[in-house]
Structure 1
């Protein structure tokens, strides 16, 4: 009997009995009847030739032999469950989670994600976008693309493109107000603002006018919106002039949906950064490398052919 191998069907049952301290509770957790659990324990005691439970009026507790067997059963269950999870992951397509803000997700990542799928069809990308993507947040994602300055990120972050903004509006709005010939006129026109904190991390219209320099106060026809996607949609809909972020707005400039109507304002230590998560897997590293490579090919900047207008020196 000492050399007889045990039927392992009892392992999870005995783990639940020892962990919960109750035959009834173990039966409820496992979806079994209480007599079935009690029978399993009795058969196990017969195989081992010793009592595993000390039965009393108030219930049962583990005997010294039962405590020793429970430690082994608990460790075995944990290892078997971990192995099962690993096997299930092997049978599924790898999933990479990308955390970013709505602007980058909508205007940069989504138009290009099909290109990544063609190169890595075996990898599934989950884009998790948030209006409050904070560079200081400790997100538990595989990779993040966030906006901020170099001091916001650790040594492992890589700058995708620097912050560069310039005024944009619809071609119809620009023609109607003569902005292509005299961009200084936009100081008197409705502006579209991206809502932010009192000390925004990105350029605002106040920064742009101060750098030109042009004096301009907020007008009653200005419009503030809480996401960059809404700002761009409002500009396309002739609602006013927005600040276009190079790298995000390039597609709309290229297809003529929006036109640039003023000079750029930029700073090299600010922009979008690729921030890998801890211990990136091979599929995660593939996505990181692809984003950085694609960012180098499609690096945003001030549209060619648009020179600094007179009066904005």
Structure 2
């Protein structure tokens, strides 16, 4: 009988009694009545054949035997709770936060995110898009895809696309204005602008006009829009000509929704870069590796 295994239902109760030094307080913490806690302790004492709790007028305290058992019960409760948390985490799908701008999120990531689920089906990707997504952003995602110059990024960043823009519009708009015959007619047509700071980090229409040797004022006209998605939608809707970013609008060019109507302008030191967050996980590195593979084909 001395080696009979104990019923372990008492472990959490006895841990609470020893930790709180009160049957009443232990019952309150565990949602039990004081008599129920007292009954469990007495049943345990009967199983062990010794006093575990010395009861007095001013409360109760553990006996030497009770202190020894409490140390084991407390350690067991801590280990079991830690194991339970680990098991629950195994059931939860890990989530990655990808921080980027609206253009990359809408035109590159969203059409492809289902492919990443095939590679890592247990991982969710939460895309956090912001108009203020630049290399100096305080937002700390697990992975960031940002636009900027090579000097804006540390050694851990990988360039995805170099900056390359060219005029695009709908096929109907191009045909109506005979842009295939003479791209220089762009100078006299409505231009679609992406709103920016006075010193934008990306190419503007002024940059393209200068490179193409065109006269005229390509400053913001009647349609100046605050996200690149709206700029592209306006071009698709025959509202004017937009600067198309290679890497973002490739799909629209491939399916004929938009057509290129002028020469490209590029610079190798600028473009989109992917970089890990401050504490990259294995899942984050998998996402980075997958993005790089997708870009490089």
TM-score (norm 1): 0.73
CA shift digits 1:146-167 (9 cap, x unpaired): 2222222221111111111111
Distance (whole Å) between structure 2 residues aligned to residue 269 and residue 53 of structure 1: 78
Aligned partners of 2:53 and 2:60 also within 8 Å: no
Aligned partners of 1:136 and 1:153 also within 8 Å: no
Q: Does 1:126 align with 2:125?
A: yes
The alpha-carbon deviation at position 41 of structure 1 amounts to 8.8
Task: Quote the residue 1:35 is aligned against.
Answer: 34
Match of 2:262, SS? coil
Aligned partners of 1:192 and 1:240 also within 8 Å: yes
Aligned partners of 1:23 and 1:37 also within 8 Å: no
Task: Quote the residue 2:171 is aligned against.
Answer: 171
Task: Quote the residue 1:275 is aligned against.
Answer: 275
Task: Return the index of the structure with the highest Cα Rg.
Answer: 2
CA shift digits 1:12-38 (9 cap, x unpaired): 5577778899987876665x1453685
Aligned partners of 1:52 and 1:63 also within 8 Å: yes
Q: Please say which of residues 210-219 and 127-136 is displaced more in the overlay.
A: 210-219
Distance (whole Å) between structure 1 residues aligned to residue 264 and residue 52 of structure 2: 83
Q: Does 1:90 align with 2:90?
A: yes
Task: Quote the residue 1:242 is aligned against.
Answer: 242
Task: Quote the residue 1:258 is aligned against.
Answer: 258
Distance (whole Å) between structure 2 residues aligned to residue 38 and residue 228 of structure 1: 65
Task: Quote the residue 2:162 is aligned against.
Answer: 162
The alpha-carbon deviation at position 269 of structure 1 amounts to 1.8
The alpha-carbon deviation at position 76 of structure 1 amounts to 5.5
The alpha-carbon deviation at position 115 of structure 1 amounts to 3.2
Distance (whole Å) between structure 1 residues aligned to residue 220 and residue 138 of structure 2: 38
Q: Does 1:216 align with 2:217?
A: yes
Matches within 5 A, 1:16-31: 30=30
User: Is the alpha carbon distance of 1:4 and 1:158 closer, same or farther for their aligned partners in structure 2, counting shifts above 3 Å?
Assistant: farther
Task: Quote the residue 2:107 is aligned against.
Answer: 107
User: Is the alpha carbon distance of 1:145 and 1:51 closer, same or farther for their aligned partners in structure 2, counting shifts above 3 Å?
Assistant: same
CA shift digits 1:93-136 (9 cap, x unpaired): 55444332221122112222333344x26333423131232323
The alpha-carbon deviation at position 177 of structure 1 amounts to 1.9
Match of 1:243, SS? strand
Distance (whole Å) between structure 2 residues aligned to residue 61 and residue 212 of structure 1: 90
Question: Please, which runs of 5 or more residues in structure 2 have no aligned partner?
Answer: none
Match of 1:274, SS? strand
The alpha-carbon deviation at position 6 of structure 1 amounts to 7.3
Aligned partners of 2:169 and 2:241 also within 8 Å: yes
Aligned partners of 1:211 and 1:265 also within 8 Å: yes
TM-score (norm 2): 0.76
Distance (whole Å) between structure 2 residues aligned to residue 284 and residue 45 of structure 1: 50
Distance (whole Å) between structure 1 residues aligned to residue 61 and residue 134 of structure 2: 51
Distance (whole Å) between structure 1 residues aligned to residue 205 and residue 21 of structure 2: 66
Match of 2:244, SS? strand
The alpha-carbon deviation at position 142 of structure 1 amounts to 3.1
Task: Quote the residue 2:228 is aligned against.
Answer: 228
The alpha-carbon deviation at position 176 of structure 1 amounts to 1.4
User: Is the alpha carbon distance of 1:267 and 1:217 closer, same or farther for their aligned partners in structure 2, counting shifts above 3 Å?
Assistant: closer
Matches within 5 A, 1:133-212: 133-212=133-212
Aligned partners of 1:98 and 1:125 also within 8 Å: no
Aligned pair count? 290
Question: Please, which runs of 5 or more residues in structure 1 have no aligned partner?
Answer: 298-313
